[in-house]
Structure 1
Amino acid sequence: MTDEGRVRVLHVDDDPEFADVTAMHLERVDDDITVETETSARDGLERLRAEAFDCVVSDHDMPGMDGLDFLRAVREEFGDLPFVLFTGKGNEEIASDAISAGVTEYLQKDVGADQFPVLANRIQRAVGERRAKAALEESERQLSTLISNLPGIVYRARNERGWPMEFVSGDAEGLVGYEADAIESGDVAWGDLILASEQDRLWDRVQTCVAAGEPFEVTYRIETADGTVRWLWERGRVVGVDEGVEILEGFITDVTARKERERELEREREFTEGLMDAIDDAFYVVDTTGAFVRWNDTVTEVTGYSDGEIAAMSAYDLVPEAYHDRVDDAIAETVTAGQGTVELPIETSDGDRVRFEFRGGRVEDTDGDLLGVAGIARDISDRKTRERKLEQYETLVENVGDPMYVLDTDGTVRMANEAMADHLGCDRGTIVGSDPTEFMPAEDVERVSEVIRTLLSEPDETWRTVEMRTVDTDGEVTTTENKVAPLVDEGEFTGSVGVIRDVTERKLRERELERYETIVEAVGDPVYSLDDEGVFTYVNEAIEPMTGYSPDDLVGEHIGTIMTDDGIEAGEQLIRDLLDDPEADSGTIEMDVVTRDGRQIPSENNIALLPTADGEFTGTAGVIRDIAERKERERRLSEFASVVSHDLRNPLNVVQGRVTLARETGDVDHLADAAAAAERMERLIDDLLTLAREGETVGTLDEVDLATTAERAWAGVDTGAATLSVESTATVEADAPRLRELFENLVRNAVEHGPDDVTVTVGADDTGFYVADDGPGVPAEDRDRVFDRGYTTSQSGTGFGLAIVEDIADAHGWTVSVEESESGGARFAFTTTPDAR
């Protein structure tokens, strides 16, 4: 006998390929089944003599000793060991001989994978019945000493409808809520306790066993005296006959907990399978030979092969032959190092090749023995396309006619293209690593540096053009126009870039082109020119996406078509100021642009005077920029300034409390907790400011454990006598710090609005996860407002906590709603599954 719960099967079939396919499918269909194979009945007998197996599965038509002879030999030597005849050559005569020889199950081979779940079921049933029989025999042997301690009852009953009990012993009241005397007297009929939906099935099962002269085992549901439904397991047998009616004796016990565990395990299995299929990337498990053991739906979607085809394939079948050595290396690396990564093309059923990144990890059994490799395959075609585009841009930079350069943070030349080398009359090796003052006047370099500093302080302006000079190796000075921009990575200045253009000839035509340069100086934003009456004389194409008006719609119309009265008045005042100040020729106003459909867009209008004719005002030119996002960022920054003080309250209290304890007790260990809280405060400040600047954004997404994150969030909040209950070990793809902040705000909300001993529950369901409490809850009329910024019913709250929760959920692409929890409190439900929204 093998380990309880595991089923070890010996499969004997003279076709080794079919034996291997059968083993693979049985182990895939049922994780509890392990299959060993032999290709002859004689080898099978030797294997049985050497090792313990729970079941034998055998073909019939085999050379030497056929399946029936093998069955007879097994029965003679190994007794009632379950034996399943699984044969492709089936007829009534063979079936009859097999039954006569004591076969446990008889199953004819079929085409396709649907036969293997049936075979697995037959195996489990045969092994289960044998194990149950063995267990029953053992229990009967010990019955006399154990009956007083068994959690149930023993009984004697008449085999009639309702099974009237003549004798009941044991904890009948604990089992069904009625005294044994009431059941024996007939005041409580046992059959009346059985649910109506169970009675016919139960009667038929018992009568079948009684007619066959065999003990019966049944599981059914009853309703106890207090109305509770319980699962009972009963084993009984006929012990005699009274006036033509069989007398039954048996044992009944409560198996409700086991049934609930079975249902929970099944739900967990379904959840795991569903989770794997919900993963966008391809999930796979292969054995050490590369053969597929498990896979999710994405594998079939991206490859175009069916599940049946995948089952007969290995990883090598999906990868072009030229890459098989890399597959070998990747598997070897993963097995040796525990994990590995490789990029390979997959060849689909249509013959297409798609580039994937494979990230795998070593899979072991409970004894640490190697089972294979599990991993995720991610389509990186888009990333490869971006890399190719980067190469194209690099090629463009090298081949463009204008000199280009990149400076480090300290101003050292880090890159220069070939055009730059030609412009200065030297090779690039001389330029790279040098100081720009070697090729440009120091005052010009300083002026460009000042422009870079200005651009860094003006986030709405990304580049600026500076007139400067360059000096080649011959000492020749050239007047140039340098279009410069700072390089920023995640808010940090990393250097600057410049594109130089020789404008010597253009300077000769500058006076003639002044009007046109004024119009197009801000390409990409709406650009216009007005005559002295405020009528459009030119509008570029960028005006239409912003306002809905085409250039043809506006030329000849007054500026008031797209401006409010306040905007017109501000613009006129700016023009008067510019005309009064001979040193000024441009200025900026903030205004609302009015679109064709009546919407008003906050905008910035950079207005410049057109060149005058004989000192007379001839009109203006302007560049309009949409600043709605900037205004929104300013608003969010203001809100988050308030949030900082709100969310820092608890860690600040921890710091103050721990420092006070350290002073009073002299125990410096408190300072470590204070330092940790201070560090938490610093991280929270950084995170809140980042979220304020970037809006509803998140950082790197990883698979984050809900339970661990909830517990860490709980530790960062002053919860007093409150209790945390985590009911799920699920994971969610999230930015871990953002998710922790979400939990902290919900915990703080529950503690601030609930009783001192409030219980906060974190769990997961098919659509996402939830945070519930047993506090007073949220009235139905207030549920639409709890996420509004500034809304609170607590004197100590800021009204931003739940707004932050909603922002974080939105940033992840989730939806959040507030409901009533099972205990009447608040339940915040987060839908993370796209199909559920």
Structure 2
Amino acid sequence: MRNNSSTDTVLFVDEGQATAPLESTYVTNTSGTTITTSSAAAGLQQLDSHTNSIHAVVISTQLPEMPSEELLSQIRERRPEIPIIFILDSQYTHGITQTISTGCTDYGYQGEVAASKERWAGRLHNYARRYRAEREADTTKSRLELAAQASSDVIWEREVGADVVSVSGGFNETFGYEREGSIQFEWWINKIHPDDRERINSDLEQTIANQEQQVESQYRFQRADGSYAYVKDQGRIVYNESGDPTRLVGAISDITTRKTQREELERRSEAIEAVVDGIAILDESDKYQYMNAAHAELYGYDEPADLIGESWRELYQDQEIEWFESTILPEVRETSSWRGEAVGTRCTGETFPQTVSLTKLADDGLVCIVRDISEQKERERELSEQRAFIESLLNALPDIFYVLDRNGEFVEWNDRVPEILGYTDQELAGMAAVDLVPNDNISIIMDLMSNIFTEQVQEQRESELITRSGERIPYQLNGAPLVDEENNVTGLVGTGRNISERVLREERLDVVSRVLRHNLRNDMNSILGHAQVVADNETGSTVQQSVDHIIDTARALSSLAENANRIERALSDNPQQQPVNLEDAVDTAVDNLEETETAADIAVDIPEEKWIHAIDDVTAAITEALENSIQHTTQSSTQIRIVADIDSTGEWVTLRIADSGDMIPPEERRVLVDGENPLEHGSGLGLWLINWVVVASGGELRFAESDLGGSEVQMQFQRCDQPPSPFPNE
């Protein structure tokens, strides 16, 4: 037999070895002790002699002198609540139903228990421990009956003059200590906050002096972690026949959370009164129960009391009331909250914009928070006007304006971007800038963005942009970093300028330069050659021919220079289209030709008052076409026919200049038609001048074979109405 009064003890009643595995495992795995008997009589005797120290009984059904059911019944008479576990023989089935119904706590077959002895030992330990705890509670129950009238968080008891204080198990849980039963009174006193001790002693002394039985105090008690808990201590004093206190019992409640919440409520209440937002509480009948001073002030009232008991409808006009009742309040009832903007009315009748937050309470009341947003609305209006002004300026720019994020995607843009590139705003949103440039220009754009993002510098590049229709337009792109308040680059802002005219002008000037170099070199070589002939032959027909050639070449150079001046002037002045009377332009060109005393038979058939869109130099282009017909012929006299006709749409006029001379060489026409590439065999600037003037006038230049035997130059112009006379009375 092993026994220790401070541990759980189990009585085993077994004639054989049916319970031996369980007993051995129980002792090994737990701190419990066992008492073992081999007969039912001995087991009852042990139970009687150990009134309070046996906490569970294990019975084997292999008891020949007394049926196990009878033993169970006798144990229940002595200990009605003690746990009883039956270990059944594998052949045992008789009376099992009766055994369970008469009070068996648990049972298991011998083989099953042996196989799961670890689990059964734990189960037995729990039965015994629970029973012992219940008996100890019963022992102290009578001494704590007085304290049961108070809170039962922590029950304590102290005999007057004793050095210890008995506490309940809730003490450790409440304050985090690991102490059993009794603690030293001096230790207890030292855990009370120093600032509270004198007051507690004074209250207790005054209570005893008044022979009062109830005493209550609030103080701070130190927890195991060093922090202090706010506690409420409700005690009762027991006096003897002489009126002297003999015992004190009480109950301690941890009110830290409650006190903290109360203090927090007080702070919030102070904060509510200090905030600028209006805060109010409405009851279920929509009347004000509470409001802070700010709420009353928002509506022009001096005190909250002026509105307490009044309906919220006093503060809104009919239209707002109808909106709240039909839309907002039903939403609050369904979702428990709502936040939005409304218009309130002050006591003076003045209205003001506000944000309103409504929260439903459990009693169907409402918490209402109101903020005056008059200044915010004014700032929004000013910002809106500023933004509209800036947008109007940006949209008035002839250049494109754009904002890209760090990914190089469009964030904002002016109207020129979709107008020029042909994409909608929806398509541009989130589109990458590199999607709008040809592949051979992507590196240019990537380099521009990289420098702006990493170096935070302004950059400028030239690149072509591709429109939705596939047209490639040369642009000069400028970009600068876009930064936030912390100077972090968030994107870039940029502009783009169409440099098509500049590029075209540069290309045309390059053509002029190449033609001039080519013709000047050839003609000067010709002049030098013939001059040498003159030098070598002082007289004779050869000298006269050379002199004539020198004169003709000089005239050609003079004409070349004049055409070059015209082209340079046209390219530099950036001429604008305007209404031109085609008949007047042709007449002037013919007059210019006749002044040169050239041999030509010119027939003109231009209807009167036929107006076209063209630039000023259109007359020079017509003159050049006529001169070209005369100069490039081997005939002694050239026949020229000038006519104009209108196409079937009535929108275009074609001026046709046909001659009987030689055809314009194919290589000359190919250079004009195929584009302004380096000149291969161009003989002069005349055809270039004609082409550029027609194109600048918005028209088209074509060549055909004339029915007169030579070439036909076709200049197509857009037709226009005759402009009003600047002198309407004439």
* Fold shared per TM-score above 0.5: no
Larger RCO, structure (CA 8 Å, separation 6 or more): 2
Tell which structure's C-alpha radius of gyration is larger.
Answer: 2
How high is the TM-score relative to the length of structure 1? Answer: 0.29
How high is the TM-score relative to the length of structure 2? Answer: 0.33
